[in-house]
A = this chain, B = another copy of it.
Amino acid sequence: MDVPRLVDHDRRRAELGEAAIRIILREGLAGVTVRGVAAEAGWSTGSLRHYFSNQHALQAYVVQATADTLRRRVLPRAQRPRTGGSVVEQVATIVEEMLPLDDERREEYALWSAIVEWERLHPQEEGSVSWNDQRALHRQCIAALRGHEPVRDPGQATAPHPDAEVELWAALLHTFVDGLAAQLMNTPSQVSAGTAGHLLRSLLRAVPRPEQPAHHTEVESPPQG
């Protein structure tokens, strides 16, 4: 026993994941079948089932692998330091890294939507994949609105933020970005990339900032529900 492995299981699984991602982009998450993924990767179904006993196990792995791929692709772009331009422009370029404004980001957003859909249909899995990423986007919005570097995760996610107004506007921006992304994906004929940029910057200009306190919004309670 304990014979040295002949193949690298992790490498094989990663190959399967890449094939599955290609299928998701072509046919959506419902197209991720045992037979389909095996054919896309050039294998037989029996070989695939040596690594994933179930379709469920396959899809769960694919969701995880896709989330990892997205993190590696999107986060560095969003966290790249911005120096030039106004605060509005800096925040806009950060947010635009996550919006489906071109084919590459449309691909990324389609993959992200597939993950969210999968987790909506399978809510009992231990440890939601998208939750941490949602928090990361949230923190990114907060940090961007402050004009600071992203805050390290304090570990206490529900603790009230020191600046309730910034927290509120981060939540508003987060929601707005979700809507903008949905409109760009679902009704691209009505909301083009240029329109999205205009809308985003218009909203950002409406955000009250300390150095420009022209508009006061009465904050009643923190937006965490």
Expressed in whole angstroms, the minimum distance between the Cβ of A84 and any Cβ of chain B is 19
Q: Which of B116, B171, B190 contacts A186 (CB 8 A)?
A: B116
Identify the closest chain B residue to A179 (Cβ).
B179
Chain B residues with CB under 8 Å of A172's CB are 176, 199, 202-203, 206
Q: Which DSSP category, helix, strand, loop or mixed, fits chain A's interface?
A: helix
A174 nearest CB across to chain B (Å) = 8
Q: How many positions in chain A have a CB within 8 Å of any CB in the partner chain?
A: 47
Tell me which residues across on chain B come within 8 A of A216, comparing CB atoms.
214
Q: In this assembly, does A19 line the interface, its C-beta being within 8 Å of a C-beta of chain B? A: no
A182 at interface, CB cutoff 8 A: yes
- Chain A positions within 8 Å of B, measured between CB atoms, are 30, 116, 120, 130-131, 134, 168, 171-172, 174-183, 185-187, 190-196, 198-199, 202-203, 205-206, 208, 214-221, 223-225
